[in-house]
Structure 1
């Protein structure tokens, strides 16, 4: 990471505080902010409550307006976001990207995690800590924490915020408040403070007369205050209310308590009825604990996969499973629904669809796990599934006990009296599923399996039904939803033939429909004819395992391939990325690129591969699994290993060549000589190198991770090192963190101290950019220690620059200058004038941050002279940008314009679209300051075009700047 963007320095973010447990409010430091219109508040609420996760524009439109958005809803949303950015980050420099409301994909996310806090965060933290104290038997501390959490509420949550998302969150938060209030009352009862909580319990029962938990707590308190008759009257009243309102009897827990109170059971007496805060927390020696175990408050979790957009049919099955649930308002009925059937029948699709339809009835969240009951790699251990569930439900990982039985007991305790929807997909047998079932009523569990799990029916009262094939009409409807009504109606008989030849199996219909959709010029009659004549007869789909069925469909095309194409098909399954380019495919197959291109075209023509963009190929997930299975069966382990070595050689050497082209003066660590014909690419200029990196961006991180996971440790850390330049310049900080984390582990695995030092340096820089101050400092100081130990002068200089940059991010400008001075000495000792020039640029930027712009000018001029002397255009362009920025701050706008124009011209010549756009933003700001809005508009439109060309999220900021310019003339 030798290249630092000179315009990337920011003043530290001011702390932001939000309140959602009442009217939505916000404070910047000690100043309360005016949050604008109700709809703008709705946008902020959505971003705040989903902090750290991207919220798409579609979700924002739905969350603010539901099904009735106004005309031009998206531009209106962008205006709200722009206003929120100015409001929440008023010190942001013009043209710089926001660090608070960041652009992600086609949406936005609330960033600044280290400086953003809310009363909801504090509430959940207090509740979580209380749960841990309750689990440890410390009811007094738990009660104090829960009371403190409840005291954070200031009325109706999100009061005054409109929109369906706010309404749903309001409902969820109010339900959460009720649960926590009940937990606090339980803790108080465990301490023997029966009379003290009676008024709260009476008020709560009056507000929620159908809530049996509250009636139970009130009965306990009255009975322990020696008011047995009143406790029995609470039960009688609850019974009458439930019968009158819902037509049901009280649940088993309330009935059992009634029986104990009626009999005067001493076990129900509990702790002494005293309000003394020193009351004992221990149960009487001659009795059992007074209450059921206090439930651990849990955070709301939602793990359901997305519903299939093309889901259709299955009406009879949906009606049948719907009848398994009691009527609304009967939460205390335990239901286990067991869906079995042949593989490929659509069990998971049906289960997920039904779960989405009823999820609103389970306010404490939903859980989902794929038990992988029939995976080739082995099924999921139920103990591991329990760990995943417990963490999702708020249990600290270090509090999870060892052993299946202990984890299952804790899981049942956490779920006690909760209403959670649980989907256990692809179960192997009853023994695998049974530990994952709740122990008390109130939850719905949906289990899917290829096997009939009779043990669950007998032992747990599961409601079984076998999912058969869809009707012919429903199967045709499935085909229609995927291909469009016009195409199916044009050839109705052929569509019926396809349905029949696929034996109405949903999985097979999906595969054949995908083939037809990828080739709209194909007639359905021809597709039906091919199916009829295929060697892998689709009669197999009338029964049997899905492995056999899927092979029959895929083998139809696979067996017709020439041997060389079949070999490439198998090798492609080894590639870890979401797609693959021709050069990488050539390396995997060990054939020349021209031959690989022809083989890929053949696989695409056989519908075994999709060319999603010119030269970029992607597998369907099922086809990838099929290819991997065939590769394991037909190719030796040594052959697969050699293919992977060629692939990793290709990515390492190509990434090295790209980084060398991007930054010729950067110290590159030459990779070891390739032992294979890896078909590595070379680049004549920065433009071509950048184009390759941009195309491969989403492949490169999985490649590094795959290399480390499969023993190619040297490839892993060296590839990550080569990628530092690109990820740094484009601002992909999360990618930079991830690849260097993996690289560090890989370097340590082989004891490579050089690799460890460079990985630590890259990791520290990524942490600095992500505002992880402590992690950044620890990584960079350890890197410096390793470089000093090895006597690597340039490595030390590299790390000193990173330490200086981190210090600037925290406002420690004096510390930064000290690091930069030492870095310059090291670069001189290492005879690296390019490194020295880059430090001068960074020192200049430090002086700009300090407001000493004249000193910045002097450092810039020396840096430009040095860059010009060694002929390094990138460094000169970057430093001219810094010089322009300093001149702008001094009010010398005409001179600043000249610097920015020179810098932009250099970046244009280099082919660095992103940094050219960055300079054009600065140029526009200076033109506007000169009173020339036309020139400013031209510069910013040029910047927008470049950002859109590289699909950069900062394009949104540029659009907002243009709108503001147009609005203000």
Structure 2
């Protein structure tokens, strides 16, 4: 503060304001006096008096007396002032360079962030930037436009919103022969102004841009507006660097452009997939096809800032086509008419980037049959397809080879070739998304000591992956955020709710449960999310987000309705019961609903067993996740039920790794002390473990199950537990005990009068009798079970037919046995019961050999 005002008194109040950013301490003056004392001691220690420097007290103020030439800021200002009055540009360059040499970083670095100091630093910085612009101007007067551009570029990068810097840089670039870079800098600055400040370019920047465009061709002699002949403008931003792949899509775009007159081509795809780079790359590749010029407009349809007004875009186009500012009409309709008139009969390319809607695009379409319009959007823009015959060119995620090529373009072939497996894994973790791949490559480029495999390790952590794929305000999260911002509220609500989902894909019923809407509304919202490329309808009726989109949805999940996940769990409970009833008609429900279960708006209906099993298979991952989520929420009464709900599929695919989910269900049943739940889970888990060949573990659970069911007072569960226990004992050699327990199970089942349980116990008892070669008894038990089985229980009926065939064969009734086994094969195949079909075929083959 004293050096900013050498030889001037600075009062104590001013010093206190500068020293403390917040409220000063109670004894601020005492602290200040201590600082002054230490400063005087420091000056004395280094012999400051010999240089004429003295820190003196002047009333209630302090003054630093010294020759002003010792202050670098003073010398800087003096040289800048002298440079301003020089007539020779070379002298101005010399003085300005000397002035700028006094700067070794931002002014007042290391001081506190108080308003007086920041204001002073800001004033000095403003003077420095003005001197940089003056130096560039002097270089320009000497004809050294390349040096002028080099000086300006450094500062324009550091101060991207300073329009005077950008304008000067654009003109210097153009004068040094870099017209394309100059135009690219204009578009970059315009986008930043819109995104950061929400404003359009000011007069200085706009005039510089108009100068650039006019320099590409002579400005025509003014004529009546309808007769104005347009020059050939070059409005494209700089061609993308490191563009790779997309051969098939580029060819598709070529075909779309050649397919008709005045084509409108629509490049669509998810955020970060590289639509703009693709469109601009194609436009540069096909420049020869459009000799009358190329126009470009960023419509900011998915941006933090407002979209440009149609009138402003048309004005920019008309200026680029050589229309003088004073001849541009006032109204949008008139500007549009003039634009179409100027473009009629010409071969012109118009690139409309980042469009939000069809309505935004239509007024900007050129006239005539020889112009082509290339539109990019994150939305499908079906309205533009319907009204203007737009030809869609969808852009998907990159294939592994193209992803590796993109990494190579940034990191170099040697580094990628050294770790090909890691490069492939990186591409997969980046979901084949060019934006994510470029961010990853940039991070690796900044860290040459990192291996690709080390980055794989970092990205493998889902919790931190999105953060690693963001750089400053750009990256995957930022791109997806802008997409979600443009959604209707109901679709945005559903997208946030998708982050709560426990699986990889979902149907409209699960979506409705998550969002608290009807399946019909959920279906409409899912279609909207698919149109915005946030979800993909991978198979009819099921929607899937890509991995990075799923991670972003999870990031938004805390903003979703907290009741969404409990609603989803109850949806699965209700739907699971409906699926069980269709898959195993007449069987005992594997659970009763909790008292507080909320009925969903609609429950899916299943036409037959196949439909139910298909649902189980499709929802398997989601149901496993639901068990874990319910347990994490402390909703153990839901968790154990959801663990059991897939039992028909478990028995159909017995060796498919069901143990973990059943163990989780048992843990939840034990956590709430539910004896019936423990019994049911132990009985099923024991059977699965037995089928996996883990009999010792199986018997531990199976032995407990009957007692738990008895204590719970559920004779049906007790009968099922006993028969499962007995079946495994039988398989492990304890035949006598097994037979006694099976008879007890049949007795229990008969007492319940529950047909499906009676059938189950009789079926196992018949199997036991077959092993003991008691064929007459096996036949009797099987026939009795056949009288009780439900007509639509196709798998059980097929199993009984196999047992019946085996029993008949055992007592010598071979023709009847063969007939039953042939029927069993047909029935099992129809039910998708491949294990039963194979068993019947094998028994039939042995029977034929015996005959």
Q: Give the TM-score of the pair, scaled to structure 2.
A: 0.45
**Structure with the larger RCO, 1 or 2 (CA within 8 Å, 6+ apart):** 1
Q: Give the TM-score of the pair, scaled to structure 1.
A: 0.40
Q: Between Structure 1 and Structure 2, whose CA radius of gyration is higher? A: 2
